[in-house]
Amino acid sequence: MIYYKKDTDHIVTLTLDMAGRPANIINHHISKVLMPVIEHLREEKKKGMLRGVILTSAKKTFAIGGDLEYLFQEEAAGEIFELAEQLKDVFRALESPGVPVVAALNGSALGAGFELALACHHRIAVEEPRSRYGFPEAQLGLIPGGGSITRLMWLLGIEKAFPILSEGLRYNAREAIQVGLIDELASSPREMRERAKAWILATQEGRRPWDQEGAAIPGGDSRGAGVEGFLRSAVAQLASRRLHKTPGQQAILSILYEGGKVDFDTSCRLESRAFTALMRSPETQNMIKAFWFDHNYIRQGGNRPKGFGKFRPRKIGIIGAGRMGSGIAYVCLDHGMEVVLKDVSKPIAERGREYVSRRLDQMKAEGRKQAAQCDAMLKRIHTTESSADFEDCDLVIEAVFENRMVKQKVMREAEEHLDDYSIFASNTISIPITKLAEGSLRPYNYIGLHFFSPAEEVPLVEIVRGAQTSEETIARAFDFVRAIHKTPIVVKDDWGFYAARVQNTYILEGITMLAEGLSPALIENVGRQLGMPYGALALADSMGLNMVLRYENQAAEHYGAKYIQHPAVSVLRTMLEELQRPGQQKRAGFYDYTGDTAQQLWPGLADAFPQKKGAPKLSELAERFMFTQVLEAVWCMQEQVIHSVAAANLGSIYGWGFPAFKGGVIQYIHDYGAEAFVARCGELKAKYGQRFSVPSQLKEIIAKD
């Protein structure tokens, strides 16, 4: 597991190589293995036979985290606390053998893996494009468990440490240098080792700032007026971004505040207590379920058709140089692919290149990309007005506006130049893929790839299976989405697909509350306080009320005689037909707009939909919002619109912003309690109608999770 090698300068290289694993992880086993090694190093130091230590890895990465599955299953709080304390003891021992210790990072170091690196006195990384460094724990509702909050506070100061820890970002090597996580870069593993040895030979003693008499936290501790003001501002920012509902960020802020008043070891003990509490909290358990277990299920191909070799796309054609097409182009370029970007004329297509160039300029200004990287990306984009340039593309994606005839026209023009193995994909949001494929030369190679706006930021893509789409095409589309580092969910070619269909229930419920005489401001605030990114009425305006109604009309067509009209439909028709307020695009909807910005709720709502007296029960409004989404997601699973709990959960969080701390729509039922959920549905159905009916397979579906 750990290889020990000493050179003639008395510098020891410890190489991590966990047996039976593709990558090193930092778990309870490594604590037992490292401690005897560190004790031996101390003995060597006493004998004058140790000059320094280099810690590196035999894997492609350095170390990629802790044993989350083990911790997730551990129910005893005392056991979790002791494991956290044992890990801190190992890191504390590593940083204090009395000699310089260097972390030689030959690849990614994340979470507990970077905690190990941070316990070393110096960090040198090979500049490899795919390597990432940092602490993603906050995205799982957790915090680092090995003392790194306190270490970063002492190394960088409270103000610099907080965003690194709370945002959970994975930094590339250059970014890690900029924020202060890494000290040096090397161009190769050999240079990394040479630099590590040179630093040790130039450094007399390995002592950390917190072990030096008179040392202070950079920028001051949490009792200083300036830092205290920053902490108050951070609390307000968490609340405004709804991150006060995600426990990891709160805990990080609390530890920086309390830990900034006490000594290093006491602060580390506070971390262990917080880590233990978080590990057993429902919110963290929900987030781990979604972002670890569900994510890994999808990433490892849980919904990918079996029996097909891996597709490695190299050249992508994109039709439409608007906001969506240009965003897709950027993502493909950012992951090493060539792009052919087509529009009706070369000058219009060039606008897409200009969009990519502006994004790259922004990345350079933020220090997230180097000039050479940006130049290389721009060289891989070719703009055109001719479909003939798609000749050697592996995949062509159309991102033109929502018109069936236009989409079929550009499809036919492109397909004439594609070979039998190329895929054609539509980025439609509402037109059935099966209907679009009717004019295709190769309908088995035709598929839906529904990106969400902005394409370069939203991590989800819906893969829509048409009636004639082949299994191989689905597998290749899945591989493409993974190649651009997004989460693919495979959905049936049904009305609204999955994300839009379920999201629409949230919107419709808010509109129904308006019809019932509730205050529009109250409706919006309840939705936001739940953790939804937008109020229901604001989201309706953003989509356009015509689109909201179109989805409901598609539901009516789909269910036929079984369809029961949603009570929101009458409000939608009033807004569209009588009041002529179709939404944000026309700058008149439930909100008033100046340009593209919502200024305030439209004052005329009070006259159009009079408010009733009385104080509504806020908890019931909240449950209505959540239950309608959850039930529709279960209907989607029952009707085979979506095929796994993992896809349903991640699709809800990434697709329309279902609260992450609830773990997704299906996990919400587990969190609420299945029996209690079903019983509550019965009460809501009796009071509000059939939309709260429980699908017959609900218990069967959640039992499979």
**338: CATH:** 3.40.50.720
Number of C-beta neighbours around residue 686 at 10 A: 9
The answer to whether the beta carbons of residues 465 and 425 sit under 8 Å apart is: no
Task: State yes or no: is 623 an active-site residue.
Answer: no
Comparing 67 with 163, the larger pLDDT belongs to 163
- Regarding whether 554 and 693 lie in a shared domain, the answer is yes
The pLDDT value recorded for residue 28 is 78
- Asked if residue 298 belongs to a domain, the reply is no
| pLDDT of residue 598 exceeding 80 | no
459-492 tens-digit pLDDT: 999 999 999 999 999 999 999 999 999 999 999 9
Q: Name which of 242-251, 256-265, 322-331 the model is least confident about.
A: 242-251
- Regarding whether 681 and 697 lie in a shared domain, the answer is yes
- Regarding whether 346 and 260 lie in a shared domain, the answer is no
Comparing 425 with 232, the larger pLDDT belongs to 425
pLDDT level of residue 243 (50, 70, 90 thresholds): low
- Regarding whether 527 and 471 lie in a shared domain, the answer is no
The answer to whether the beta carbons of residues 449 and 427 sit under 8 Å apart is: yes
In the three-class reduction of DSSP (H, G, I as helix; E, B as strand; rest coil), residue 125 is classed as: strand
- Regarding whether 488 and 509 lie in a shared domain, the answer is no
* Strand stretches in 71-225, DSSP E: 101-105, 109-110, 122-126, 133-134, 184-186
- Asked if residue 616 belongs to a domain, the reply is yes
The answer to whether the beta carbons of residues 187 and 125 sit under 8 Å apart is: no
556-581 tens-digit pLDDT: 998 999 999 999 999 999 999 999 99
**Active-site residue (options: 95, 137, 552, 623):** 137
Residues 681, 684, 690: CA angle, nearest 5 degrees: 85
Which are the contacts of 306, defined by CB distance < 8 A and separation ≥ 6? Answer: none
- Regarding whether 479 and 364 lie in a shared domain, the answer is yes
Number of C-beta neighbours around residue 163 at 10 A: 12
**Angstrom distance (rounded) from CA 547 to CA 402:** 11
- Asked if residue 292 belongs to a domain, the reply is no
Q: Using the 3D structure, point to which of 265, 280, 295 is the last residue of a domain.
A: 280
Which are the contacts of 622, defined by CB distance < 8 A and separation ≥ 6? Answer: 526, 529, 530
| pLDDT of residue 179 exceeding 80 | yes
**Domains identified in the chain, total number:** 3
**Angstrom distance (rounded) from CA 377 to CA 358:** 12
The answer to whether the beta carbons of residues 114 and 202 sit under 8 Å apart is: no
Rounded to 10°, the helix 158-166/148-156 angle is 140
Radius of gyration of the chain from its Cα atoms, rounded to whole angstroms: 28
* Strand stretches in 387-485, DSSP E: 395-398, 423-426, 446-451, 460-465
| pLDDT of residue 64 exceeding 80 | yes
Which are the contacts of 582, defined by CB distance < 8 A and separation ≥ 6? Answer: 544, 545, 546, 575, 576, 588, 589
**Angstrom distance (rounded) from CA 195 to CA 193:** 5
- Annotate 33-77 with three-state secondary structure: HHHHHHHHHHHHHHCCCCCEEEEEECCCCCECCECHHHHHHCCCH
According to DSSP, the residues that pair with 491 across neighbouring strands are: 464, 642
The number of C-alpha atoms within 13 Å of 229 and in the hemisphere containing its C-beta is: 4
Q: Name which of 20-29, 395-404, 413-422 the model is least confident about.
A: 20-29
Summary mean pLDDT of the chain:
93
Task: State yes or no: is 137 an active-site residue.
Answer: yes
- Regarding whether 471 and 508 lie in a shared domain, the answer is no
Q: Which helix (H) or strand (E) holds 4?
A: strand 2-6
- Asked if residue 658 belongs to a domain, the reply is no
- Asked if residue 162 belongs to a domain, the reply is yes
- Regarding whether 605 and 550 lie in a shared domain, the answer is yes
Q: Whose structure tokens read 């598609």?
A: 554
**Angstrom distance (rounded) from CA 674 to CA 693:** 14
- Asked if residue 262 belongs to a domain, the reply is yes
**Active-site residue (options: 115, 128, 175, 524):** 115
| pLDDT of residue 143 exceeding 80 | yes
pLDDT level of residue 242 (50, 70, 90 thresholds): low
**Angstrom distance (rounded) from CA 253 to CA 233:** 11
The whole-number average pLDDT for the span 540-559 is 94
Q: Using the 3D structure, point to which of 226, 257, 280 is the last residue of a domain.
A: 280
| pLDDT of residue 244 exceeding 60 | no
In the three-class reduction of DSSP (H, G, I as helix; E, B as strand; rest coil), residue 257 is classed as: helix
Residue 84, Cβ density class (10 Å: 0-12 exposed, 13-18 middle, ≥19 buried): buried
Give the amino acid at 507.
Answer: I
**Angstrom distance (rounded) from CA 269 to CA 362:** 40
Residue 407, Cβ density class (10 Å: 0-12 exposed, 13-18 middle, ≥19 buried): buried
- What are the angstrom distances between the C-alpha of 474 and each of 84, 180, 355, 432, 640? 43, 42, 30, 16, 16
| pLDDT of residue 204 exceeding 90 | no
The whole-number average pLDDT for the span 62-67 is 88
The answer to whether the beta carbons of residues 497 and 448 sit under 8 Å apart is: yes
**What's the count of helices (H) and strands (E) in the chain, helices before strands?**
30, 18
- Strand order of the β-sheet with 487-492 is 381-384, 338-342, 315-319, 395-398, 423-426, 446-451, 460-465, 487-492
| pLDDT of residue 62 exceeding 60 | yes
The whole-number average pLDDT for the span 390-397 is 97
**Angstrom distance (rounded) from CA 559 to CA 563:** 5
From the list 322, 183, 151, the residue with the least C-alpha distance to 252 is 151
Residues 462, 477, 466: CA angle, nearest 5 degrees: 65
**Angstrom distance (rounded) from CA 73 to CA 76:** 9
The whole-number average pLDDT for the span 203-231 is 88
Q: Whose structure tokens read 């994975």?
A: 170
- Asked if residue 543 belongs to a domain, the reply is yes
Buried b / exposed e over 282-304, threshold 16 CB at 10 Å, is ebbbbbbbbbbbbbebbeeeebb
**Angstrom distance (rounded) from CA 620 to CA 622:** 5
CA 490 to chain centre: 18
Structural domain containing residue 620: 499-640+673-703
- Regarding whether 554 and 478 lie in a shared domain, the answer is no
- What are the angstrom distances between the C-alpha of 184 and each of 191, 199, 280, 373? 11, 10, 38, 20
Which are the contacts of 95, defined by CB distance < 8 A and separation ≥ 6? Answer: 101, 119, 120, 121, 206, 208
| pLDDT of residue 596 exceeding 70 | no
Rounded to 10°, the helix 264-279/247-259 angle is 160
The pLDDT value recorded for residue 231 is 86
- Regarding whether 269 and 155 lie in a shared domain, the answer is yes
The pLDDT value recorded for residue 409 is 95
- Regarding whether 83 and 180 lie in a shared domain, the answer is yes
- Regarding whether 54 and 151 lie in a shared domain, the answer is yes
Q: Using the 3D structure, point to which of 492, 525, 545 is the last residue of a domain.
A: 492
513-533 tens-digit pLDDT: 999 999 999 999 999 999 999
**Angstrom distance (rounded) from CA 678 to CA 693:** 9
Comparing 521 with 234, the larger pLDDT belongs to 521
- Asked if residue 303 belongs to a domain, the reply is no
In the three-class reduction of DSSP (H, G, I as helix; E, B as strand; rest coil), residue 342 is classed as: strand
| pLDDT of residue 367 exceeding 80 | no
Which are the contacts of 158, defined by CB distance < 8 A and separation ≥ 6? Answer: 217, 219, 220, 221, 222, 227, 230, 231, 256, 260
